[in-house]
Structure 1
Amino acid sequence: MRGRDCGISTSPDATGGCRAEFSLEPGSARQGCSLRPFPERRWASALDFANTIDNRGDRRGPDLLHSYDDVVVLAQRPGLIDEEQMAGLSAFAKAHPRRAEASLKEAVILREAIYTLFLSEGACQPYPHQAFEIVHDIATRARARQVLSKAEDGFRWLLPLKDPSDLVALFAVLAVELITGRNGRRLIRQCKGDNCGWLFLDTSKSGRRLWCSEATCGTHARVKRF
């Protein structure tokens, strides 16, 4: 896998990252989340979602998604939802625990599908059909629920967040944006650090980065080598 890019070109931004075509940003807390072009790197939320198992190596675990609230917090930290949306989704989940539990189970299934998709990408293999269908079906559900809303700078597609499963669908949409933006970025790779296995987008100049983080897995590997 080292040094291969399967013919995919890179399109770095000013900070050394790669830009996705769209992102999900907070809209009105009463309306939902909007899809709009942006220069930041919130697409990384799809990879953060896939990396919610702390260790993908032989000593698998622990799983960081223990409850639906963990999914909510994961979406709020990078700004996919605002604090009011966070409170509303958490309150709804507490009032409807069965629906929240079902959404958590769907989130875990989606996470594994996203991980499988981009693991195959790093190996320059076609996307596995079953994993692709899971991501596609959940993202399609989200797309079908979008509404066109007027904003100060024009119009925006909004995805209402009325149910715990809607938040899960946001991560599917982000994963699809990574897939459809494949020709404008380098590969998603798997960290080679011991007891890691996280996914990362290789934005290094050489295209031969091995670790999700130079400060953690990279340093550990170099120390172990000596």
Structure 2
Amino acid sequence: MSSKGYRHSSAGGDPKEELAIRFVNTVAWRLRTSHEERLSDAQAFLRWLAANQTGMEQQLAMISARWRTHQQDGAKFYEAVITLREAIYELLVARIADVAPPMEALENFNLFLVRSGDGIRLRSMAGELFWCIDEASDSDLLKPIIMSAANLMTGPKAHRVRQCQDDRGCGWLFVDESRAMNRRWCSMGDCGNRAKAQRHYRRSRDKSISSSS
């Protein structure tokens, strides 16, 4: 992963990706023994949500202020954030591998899903639609992510979800929108470009060895 642009930000990747994908990608280097956590606490999650879900600024500010006073509430909510994120990740990875989903992940996600019916609505802003939370309720913050994940896992894009094949252990997820459905990298500007450079280096090296022999 590079240190430039969205690849190094806490936003979780390409802003054009599904919200659930960006949420899962708040862990960098998924396939390494040591991951890089981009959501260090509840306040970091609020900042991530503000960067990824417009139209919620007032509600997020109210909750942020409350959590600064009642830090235990933020800490408890943060546990739910991580539980949801890892459940979504495990379900999507199982879908990629075409294997049965882990039961614990499925049960955890379903617990979030059954609570996600009320408290949110769509809001029109500058010709676009955004999720809006009616009241400053902690649990409602996760609902746009839950809806995004449920729609992704059951919709027409489910079979297009992929995991980056970078050999350093990137592990970010993405939706393959290519016509041939042969995309291998989370970003051609980073992991894909590095793989391309490596192939070029190996070809040049092999050609040099062949010429000198």
* Fold conserved between structures, TM > 0.5: yes
1:210 corresponds in structure 2 to 184
Structure 1 distance, partners of 2:121, 2:108, is 26
Q: Give the TM-score taking structure 1 as reference length.
A: 0.70
- In the alignment, is residue 199 of structure 1 matched against residue 173 of structure 2? yes
Count of aligned pairs between the two proteins: 182
Q: Give the TM-score taking structure 2 as reference length.
A: 0.74
**Post-superposition offset of 1:200:** 0.4
Which stretches in structure 2 are left out of the alignment for 5+ residues?
1-14, 125-130, 202-213
**Post-superposition offset of 1:213:** 0.5
Distance 1:218 1:161, change over 3 A: farther
The one of 62, 80, 84 equivalent to 1:110 is 84
1:46 corresponds in structure 2 to 20
1:128 corresponds in structure 2 to 102
Structure 1 distance, partners of 2:151, 2:113, is 10
- In the alignment, is residue 97 of structure 1 matched against residue 83 of structure 2? no
Distance 1:158 1:78, change over 3 A: closer
SS at 1:138 equivalent:
helix
SS at 1:47 equivalent:
helix
Higher mean C-alpha deviation, range 74-83 or range 60-69 = 74-83
- In the alignment, is residue 163 of structure 1 matched against residue 137 of structure 2? yes
Higher mean C-alpha deviation, range 186-195 or range 110-119 = 186-195
- In the alignment, is residue 84 of structure 1 matched against residue 58 of structure 2? yes
- Bigger helix share: 2
CA RMSD, Structure 1 to Structure 2 (Å): 2.8
The one of 28, 38, 41 equivalent to 1:64 is 38
- Tell me if the contact between 2:164 and 2:170 (Cα under 8 Å) persists in the aligned partners: yes
Indicate the percent of aligned positions where both proteins have the same amino acid: 28
Distance 1:177 1:195, change over 3 A: same
Structure 1 distance, partners of 2:37, 2:100, is 27
1:173 corresponds in structure 2 to 147
One-letter code aligned to 1:99? D
Structure 2 distance, partners of 1:213, 1:52, is 15
- In the alignment, is residue 190 of structure 1 matched against residue 156 of structure 2? no
Distance 1:149 1:191, change over 3 A: closer
Aligned ranges 1:28-47 → 2 under 5 Å: 44-47=18-21
- In the alignment, is residue 221 of structure 1 matched against residue 195 of structure 2? yes
**Post-superposition offset of 1:104:** 0.5
Instruction: Tell which has more relative contact order, 1 or 2 (C-alpha 8 A, sep 6+).
Output: 1
**Post-superposition offset of 1:72:** 1.1
